[in-house]
Structure 1
Amino acid sequence: MPEVLEQRLLDDRLVLQLLPAAAYSARDPVQWQTLGVTLERQRGVHAIDSDRREDFDTWPGTLALTPAGIEVFSESAQGGEYLLLRWQGATPLIAGQQRRQSPGHASALALGREARRLLLAQDRDQLALEHCALEFLGLVQGERATPSPAAKLAPVLQRMADEYSLPLSLAQLALTYGHNELRLLRDFRRAVGITPHAWLTEVRVQAARRLLERTDLPLAAIAQDCGFAHQSHLGSALRQATGLTPRQYRLRFATRAADFTL
């Protein structure tokens, strides 16, 4: 199975985890306060502080805050990459007794992607990770649960997930949405926290990462299969997202390949 990348910080009071895009069934310990941001869409079932299970469909850029004392059970057949921060200090950081979610959280998504880059690095920078984690903790202040605007964008996001290898245009995506390009840009930022172009690049990078991990395809073929204009475009996008070149990424994570059936 793909590994969970973890870093303990601040004398083990804080644990930063990058959870892979893989099937899972997990129950969070109730004594931990947690902050999490979805880096990829996640679909499955969960139970929040009860035995009642409900379907969930969480889009990227959703910040979730869970106070101590709330039990969260969740399972998914395919998962989705997720950045999780567990606070084990005595000082409560998340007020109230309810789990809260804020979709389209640009700051949380940016910090989640930066934490991912730092956790994937060959030589982890402890100080940079602590700084990033503390900024992530700072998002707790003033956050309130908000309804997700992503439901009406589901056809657009699904098209990007299905057709990332194609040269999709904003006009095509706006047609799928049923509104003009300006409306799409505004609503997409609200739902995900970044532009459609930035998200499409993220989807392509995630697809390339999995091909690098699980196959021996040449880099040029991976670039083409994932919608990049050429191999150097793939390299630039992957370095920005992970801090590693395609060859470095493959050397570090290709050992996972034996865990997958292609």
Structure 2
Amino acid sequence: MPQLFEHRLLGGRLVLQLLPAAAYSARDPVQWQTLGVALERQRGVHAIDSDRREDFDTWPGTLALTPKGIEVFSESGEGGEYLLARWQDSLAPLACQRRLQSLGHAQALALGREARRLLLAPQTDELALEQCALAFIGLPWGPATTPPAGDLGRVLQQMADEYARPLSLMQLAATYGHHELRLLRDFRRAVGMTPHAWLTEIRLQAARRLLEHSDLALAVIALECGFAHQSHLGSALRKHLGLTPREYRQRFQRRGR
């Protein structure tokens, strides 16, 4: 079963959670301020401070801020990896009284991935984790953004479906319906990273799940997830999570047991 990673910081006034890519149905408590960033795309239904349920499609890099007192119900059949911070009023009070959401928040996505690396590390670096968490909840908030024109959702789906094979900007631009330069600009604005960086992230997510839940050889996992060879997978995993594939497998298969 996918694992939830949680760490309490600053005497319990700040809680950092790494939510796994798994089906869920949850109602957030209303007594904490919360800030979350999607590390993967996820779709489902939610209800924001009401009983009215609506479909949602949250893209990677989407930052959501929820003040204390606003209840959020969310449900997804697949979920997606998500970095969530909860904190008490006294730590960092919010001026807003409504839920805010922003697409393509590059700083939030970078901090979310760094917090993930720190939470997954075999030994917790408390100071580094505290600094990362405080930088995350202190992010500057810009105006709410909307998806760009064109069908970028189809591009994200194509990448999710075809991550194991080589993909070119020309192919992705054809799916998007605009030229390559427009795709690059809009993709980065909507997701917070380039198509190539996001494709590497998708491949790593797929490799992590195979490392956690299968005994396939590392070379096989690398090829099945779109990496050129085993060492390519190893260098990518070390760069993003600080662990080799063998270390990752040993750590998370042992944790699962």
Above 0.5 in TM-score? yes
Question: What amino acid is the match of 2:223?
Answer: Q
The equivalent of 2:74 in structure 1 is: 74
Q: Does the Cα contact within 8 Å between 1:32 and 1:86 map onto a contact in 2? A: yes
Q: Which amino acid aligns with 1:63?
A: L
- Equivalent residue letter for 1:22: A
With 200-209 and 129-138 compared, the bigger mean Cα shift is at 129-138
**Cross-structure match for 1:209:** 208
Between 49-58 and 83-92, report the one with greater CA deviation. Answer: 83-92
Q: Letter of the aligned partner of 2:201 in structure 1?
A: E
The answer for the alignment partner of 2:29 in structure 1 is 29
Distance of aligned partners of 1:150 and 1:15 in 2 relative to their CA distance in 1, 3 Å threshold:
farther
Please give the alpha-carbon distance, in whole angstroms, between the structure 1 residues aligned to 2:190 and 2:93. Answer: 26
Equivalent AA in structure 2 for residue 153 of structure 1: L
Structure 1 residue runs of 5 or longer lacking an equivalent are none
Match of 1:95 in 2: 95
Structure 1 residues 150 and 88, CA gap change in structure 2 (3 angstroms): farther
Cα distance in structure 1, aligned partners of 2:66 and 2:42: 17
Alignment deviations for residues 211-230 of structure 1 (CA, whole Å, 9 cap, x no partner): 00010000000000000001
**Counterpart-to-counterpart distance in 1, 2:186 and 2:33:** 31
TM-score normalized by the length of structure 2 = 0.96
User: Secondary structure of 2:133's partner?
Assistant: helix
Which whole-Å deviations, capped at 9, do the CAs of 1:75-117 have from their partners, x for residues lacking one? 1010000000001243553222210000000000000000000
Instruction: Tell me the secondary structure at the aligned position of residue 133 of structure 1.
Output: helix
The superposition leaves residues 225-262 of structure 1 with CA deviations (integer Å, 9 ceiling, x where unpaired) of 0000010000011112211110000001124777xxxx
The separation in 1 between residues aligned to 2:248 and 2:138, in whole angstroms, is 31
Q: Is the 8 A contact 1:2 1:256 kept in 2?
A: no
The 3-state SS of whatever aligns with 2:138 is helix
Which residue in 1 is equivalent to 2:20?
20
Equivalents in 2 of 1:90, 1:111: separation in Å? Answer: 22
CA distance in 1, matches of 2:17, 2:104: 21
CA distance in 2, matches of 1:219, 1:174: 32
Distance in 2 of aligned mates of 1:172 and 1:78: 27
Number of residue equivalences: 257
Alignment match, 2:104: 104
1:1-262 matched pairs, under 5 angstroms: 1-139=1-139, 141-149=140-148, 152-255=151-254
How far has the Cα of 1:194 moved from its partner? 0.4
CA contact (8 A) 1:214 1:257 kept: no
User: What is the one-letter code of the residue matched to 2:231?
Assistant: S
TM-score normalized by the length of structure 1 = 0.94
Amino-acid identity (%): 75
- Decide whether aligned partners of structure 1 residues 148 and 179 sit closer, same or farther in structure 2, where only a CA change above 3 A counts: closer
Distance 1:116 1:92 in 2: 22
What RMSD over aligned residues (CA atoms) do the two structures have, in Å?
1.4
Q: 1:230 to 1:244 in 2, by over 3 A?
A: same
| Distance in structure 1 (CA, Å) of the matches to 2:67 and 2:16 | 16
**For the Cα contact (< 8 Å) 1:21–1:78, is it kept in 2?**
yes
Q: Which moved more, 1:74-83 or 1:94-103?
A: 94-103
Deviations 1:137-187 (CA, angstroms, capped at 9, x unpaired): 111x43332223387201111000000000111111111111111111000
1:179-220 deviation line (CA, Å, top 9, x unaligned): 111111000001101000000000000000000001000000
CA distance in 2, matches of 1:74, 1:187: 27
The one-letter code of the counterpart of 1:76 is: S
1:138 aligned partner, one-letter code: G
Between stretches 102-111 and 168-177, larger displacement belongs to 168-177
State the distance in 2 between where 1:82 and 1:136 align.
13
SS at match of 2:249: helix
